[in-house]
Chains A and B, each alone.
Chain A
Amino acid sequence: MIRIANLEFRYREGEFQLRVPELDVARGETVAVVGPSGCGKTTLLNLIAGISLPGCGRVLTNGVEVSGLDDPARRDFRVQHVGLVFQEFELLEHLSVLDNILLPYRISPALQLDPSVRERAVALAGRVGIGDKLGRYATRLSQGERQRAAVCRALIAQPELLLADEPTGNLDPANKGRVLEILFDFAKGSGATLLTVTHDHDVVEHFDRIIDFKTFYGSAAAR
């Protein structure tokens, strides 16, 4: 599902440098990426999703060399194949929960919004326990409900790859467990690959594989 070879990335400003000689993640595999803050975990997710481009090396996602695509193609690829969950939820305050879930369909011509998608959104929201809050503004939800809405938005296009950047970082233990359960249920149910960046050592045991960014890559991943 994900194949990285000789990847090097450096921001235009600053001295941060990310090097990943090799990384393979199989289809359907659930992987937790752990490591200290600032070691490049989020950057790695951005590179896999095609949000950032590597200086050199290759990133193949779902068999597609994302870094070789132009910007519009990368956006289309992302909205069709990759689901993203952010630590800060990143819900749009002026949209209702339902509109937030349907957002990928409204901002990309690569996806077509039809009644079946709406039904799927309602079903997803019901499954994660926010089915009765679809008409509310996102700002009116609790932290746990917001993250569940954000997860629904990531799942709505039925992605083959789910990238989650510390999805439980702002949640209490009860909500933490619930969000993880939803992510795992989806991954197992659809055969999607789940790659999660986390600081939380309590949750990593649920994953098929744990990549400790610091030790796994040794000196390869360095600042």
Chain B
Amino acid sequence: MRDTLYLAWRYLRYHRIKTAILIASITLIIYLPVGLNVLVGQSAAELTARAEATPLLVGARGSALELVLNSLYFEADSPEQMRYAEVSRVANSGLADPIPLYVRFRSREYPIVGTTLEYFDFRKLRFASGRAMAVLGECVLGARAAHALKVGPGDSIVSSPESVFDLVGSYPLRMKVVGVLEPSYTADDLAVFADLKTVWVIEGLGHGHQDLASPEADSAVLAREGNTITANAAVVQYNEITSENIESFHFHGDLAQHPISALFAVPHDDKSQVLLMGRYQGKDEPSQIVRPRDVMNELLETILTVRSYVVAAILIVALATLATAALVFLLSLRLRRREIMTMVKIGGSRSSIASLLLSEIVVVLASGVVLAGGLTLLTGRFGSAAIRTFLLS
């Protein structure tokens, strides 16, 4: 057997280009479906991991998928808004702790996530440098966002206008970076976190301007009637919140009516979860409550169906490739007829010659299988990181 394998090895080595092409073909036809399976499995795990870690999500009625993608991955368009009063409703129910989210604005391509400090504990986010936001106008950056924007604690970033053509829209707000998070390899790495009120300021629901009661503001005053001062367009509005002007920032109207895009509800126990879900089942209920895991699983089922079609297509190609490889081998037998006849004439045994030819096929097939196995292992080992990078990019 050793001699047979040796001769097979010598043949394959001599015809190394043909051998390499055959091995590469076999490697690919094995690796493509298997590796795809592994990658899709890992992608599914990556996608669902964040959903699994988010027990309940409350948002306005509408697309549950849009709500989940916006709230968990800060992707998709901003869903229908709901009122901040919903946060009090959940808190007052005594069934869950609410964490509000308002994901609507961006700083360049990075989403500004208006939330509370509980979010960092909930997502187990740690600070690489700096601290959490403490006052209006401060923000914390995810690791990749900070790296891409080349900013750190002490620097500033500016919110982007929703539309450059909206002349009456809100002015960009310059925010002070006070902290940068450690990488978490999730959507949080690309986010800009700010206090909910800071985001309302970006929206124009809160603002700061020069004191109209002071004599310096006379040119900006149209009329004074008792305690009411009417200002004209010359009034200076602040687009940066500083220690000097923070006192001038104020919100008009009832804060409970201010918008948020969603809220995480962290139930105290399983029973609380069921009870809370029950409270959102009414027909006239303007809000919906979803389990992100269920929504993502539904999405993944669609992806997995597509995968099965892709795998089926690859298998058909694989069969065609194997048939071609078999044809190549049979043709090479014809080309090697003289070589085989020489061995027969010399006295080579039928079994030795057959073993030799079989060994060549086995070595090629085994090499393909081993390489495909190695690639699959590498995919398993590094696939997750690649997927994270891909998903985050």
Q: Which residues of B contact A110 (CB under 8 A)?
A: 347, 349
Q: Which residues of B contact A72 (CB under 8 A)?
A: 349-350
Closest to B356 in A: A107
Known contacts A93-B14, A137-B14; A104 and B347 CB within 8 A of each other: yes
Whether B343 pairs with A107 at a CB distance below 8 angstroms is: yes
Whether A75 pairs with B348 at a CB distance below 8 angstroms is: yes
A49 CA to B344 CA, complexed, in Å: 11
Pick the 9 closest A-B CB pairs, nearest first.
A79-B347, A94-B14, A107-B348, A78-B347, A106-B3, A90-B342, A107-B352, A75-B347, A94-B11
Q: Is B77 an interface residue (CB 8 A)?
A: no
Whether B14 pairs with A113 at a CB distance below 8 angstroms is: no
Closest to A51 in B: B345
Q: Is A189 an interface residue (CB 8 A)?
A: no
Scoring B residues 274 to 318 as 1 if CB is less than 8 Å from chain A, else 0, what string do you get? 000000000000000000000000000000000000000000000
Q: Is A99 an interface residue (CB 8 A)?
A: yes
Closest to A94 in B: B14
Q: Is B75 an interface residue (CB 8 A)?
A: no
Closest to A109 in B: B349
Scoring B residues 320 to 346 as 1 if CB is less than 8 Å from chain A, else 0, what string do you get? 000000000000000000110011111
Whether A107 pairs with B353 at a CB distance below 8 angstroms is: yes
Q: Which residues of A contact B356 (CB under 8 A)?
A: 107
Chain A positions near chain B (C-beta within 8 angstroms): 49, 51, 71-72, 75-80, 82, 84, 86, 90, 92-96, 99, 103-110, 113, 137, 153
Q: Is B381 an interface residue (CB 8 A)?
A: no
Whether A107 pairs with B14 at a CB distance below 8 angstroms is: no
A96 CA to B345 CA, complexed, in Å: 20
A187 CA to B346 CA, complexed, in Å: 19
Chain B positions near chain A (C-beta within 8 angstroms): 3-4, 6-7, 10-11, 13-15, 338-339, 342-353, 356
Closest to B346 in A: A104
A93 CA to B343 CA, complexed, in Å: 13
Closest to B351 in A: A109
Q: Which residues of B contact A93 (CB under 8 A)?
A: 14
Whether B347 pairs with A103 at a CB distance below 8 angstroms is: no
Among candidates A79, A80, A86, A105, residue contacting B3 with C-beta atoms closer than 8 Å? A105
A213 CA to B84 CA, complexed, in Å: 113
B205–chain A nearest beta-carbon distance, Å: 81
Known contacts A90-B342, A113-B3; A107 and B11 CB within 8 A of each other: no
Closest to B11 in A: A94
Closest to B338 in A: A90
A109 CA to B1 CA, complexed, in Å: 10
Q: Which residues of A contact B345 (CB under 8 A)?
A: 49, 51, 78, 84, 86, 90
Known contacts A92-B339, A95-B10, A99-B10; A108 and B15 CB within 8 A of each other: no
Q: Give me 25 A-to-B residue pairs in the complex whose CB atoms sit less than 8 angstroms apart, sorted by A's number.
A: A49-B345, A51-B345, A75-B347, A76-B347, A86-B345, A90-B342, A90-B345, A92-B342, A94-B14, A95-B7, A95-B10, A99-B10, A103-B346, A106-B3, A106-B7, A107-B352, A108-B347, A108-B348, A108-B349, A108-B352, A109-B351, A109-B352, A110-B347, A113-B3, A137-B14
B272–chain A nearest beta-carbon distance, Å: 75
Which of A77, A79, A80, A86 counts the most chain B CB atoms within 10 A?
A79
Known contacts A94-B14, A94-B15, A95-B10; A79 and B346 CB within 8 A of each other: yes
Q: Which residues of B contact A99 (CB under 8 A)?
A: 7, 10
